[in-house]
Amino acid sequence: MSNPGTDLNLDWFSGLRINTPAVERRAATLPARRSLKKDHQAAWLLNAVRCIDLTTLAGDDTPDRVARLCAKARQPIAADLLDAMGVAGLTTGAVCVYPTMVAPAKRALGNSGIPVASVATGFSAGLMPLDLRLAEIRYAVDQGADEIDIVITRAHVLQGNWAALYDELRAMREACGAARMKAILATGDLKSLENVAKASHVAMQAGSDWIKTSTGKEGVNATLPVSLVMVRTIRDFHARTGIKVGFKPAGGLRTAKDAISWQVLMAEELGRDWLAPDLFRIGASSLLGDIERQISHHVTGRYAAAHRQAIA
């Protein structure tokens, strides 16, 4: 189901103030919370795997590297470990690549049903004329992308130009056609939590299916305080419209502990519906290795040698 969006409603956030110390305090408690932690840790790690957008966004990406990544997306955890846990058919949520790598990814994923996400709109800075950014979206869709991860114009946020932000996002949404859209806010560039919340509102009003923290290329990428602010705007948007928008933290998530912390955030702030790949993705290039290590430890009681785990 995709988000049809709403008109631009500035009054939903014009008086918005954020108590930063309170947000930071609340975020700091999340990694230690018990709700999802100990008992079912392996199950939560498996759930994180099915929500990963397994990503390669490097200048030296090649079709071969993308094919290896896709093989990992199809079989993210060693078969013997999954057998031991009685789990079958586990894949990552998607594979995320640059537009010219969409076709190799589609080929490698075949009929696995795993979606291909493409970044577009002049990733990662987005500083290109709008018609070229829209053309890039259409190219990626034409190549077979199922999901498009766009970047916003940070200047629109920094200048409080909400109508311009809304209009560009609407045009991007339109260019996506049937593909689902993730709006990357690049929160590390937005200067304040108020700006993060306001940009989140506008992105949802303009019809984003997920809002995403970061490109992985900003100086500061996904953090728990920023994520808390974003998921609370998702909650607010849902309360006002009945529409469920997804969340994608991305950039710098590398450990199984990170995967648990962000799932605790989703469960506590939004509820269990937001723990499925339709509404939750983790954008990560190097998280899977640590998750596999922890699952291996869970199954065998010891840590596997690094060479046993395929590169994620």
Ligand X SMILES: O=C[C@H](O)COP(=O)(O)O
CB 130 within 8 A of CB 168: yes
Say whether 248 is catalytic: yes
Q: 111 — alpha (psi -120 to 50), left (phi > 0) or beta?
A: alpha
Q: Catalytic: which of 53, 106, 146, 149?
A: 149
Among positions 216, 225, 249, 277, the unique one binding ligand X when judged by CB under 6 A = 216
Q: Which stretch binds ligand X (CB under 6 A): 87-95, 130-138, 267-275, 283-291?
A: 283-291
Asked if residues 213 and 221 have their Cβ atoms less than 8 Å apart, the reply is: yes
Q: Does 227 bind ligand X (CB under 6 A)?
A: no
| Residue 60 beta carbon to ligand X: minimum distance, rounded to whole angstroms | 14
Cα distance between residue 242 and residue 110, in whole Å? 35
233 and 23 in contact (C-beta within 8 Å)? no
- Among 285, 294, 296, 309, interactor with ligand X by CB under 6 A: 285
Choice among 106, 198, 212, 290 that is catalytic: 212
- Using CB under 6 A, pick the residue from 176, 179, 229, 284 that binds ligand X: 284
Q: Which residue is nearest to ligand X (CB)?
A: 216
- What residues between 42 and 81 interact with ligand X by CB under 6 A? 55, 57
In whole angstroms, the minimum distance from the beta carbon of 282 to ligand X comes to: 9
**Which of 93/216 has CB closer to ligand X?**
216
Q: How far apart are CA 67 and CA 109, in angstroms?
A: 8
Angle (CA) 297 298 299, round 5°: 90
- Cα 30 from Cα 52, distance rounded (Å): 20
Tell me how far, at minimum, the Cβ of 58 lies from ligand X, in Å.
Answer: 9
Bin 228: left if φ > 0, else alpha if -120 < ψ < 50, else beta: alpha
Q: Which of residues 153 and 285 has its CB atom nearest to ligand X in the complex?
A: 285
Nearby residues of 37 by Cβ (< 8 Å), 6 or more positions away: 44, 260, 264
Query: Phi/psi at 77 (nearest 5 deg)?
Result: -130, 140
DSSP-assigned beta bridge partners for residue 54: 95, 284
Greatest pairwise CA separation for the chain in angstroms = 55
The 8 Å CB, 24+ separation contacts for 267-272 are 267/35, 267/36, 268/30, 268/33, 268/35, 269/228, 269/231, 269/232, 269/235, 270/231, 270/234, 270/235, 270/238
Which among 209, 248, 258, 290 is annotated as catalytic? 248
Among 15-23, 40-48, 136-144, 284-292, the segment contacting ligand X (CB under 6 A): 284-292
- Minimum CB separation of residue 247 from ligand X in Å reads 13
Minimum CB separation from ligand X for residue 44, in Å?
19
Is 212 part of the annotated catalytic residue set? yes
Q: Which is nearer to ligand X, 137 or 250 (CB)?
A: 250
- Which residues within the stretch 95-124 sit at the binding site for ligand X (CB under 6 A)? 96
CB 300, min distance to ligand X, A: 27
Give the binding-site size for ligand X (rule: CB under 6 A): 12
Among 169, 175, 250, 264, indicate the residue that binds ligand X (CB under 6 A): 250
> Which residues contact ligand X (rule: CB under 6 A)?
55, 57, 96, 215-216, 250-252, 283-286
Q: Which residues are catalytic?
A: 149, 212, 248
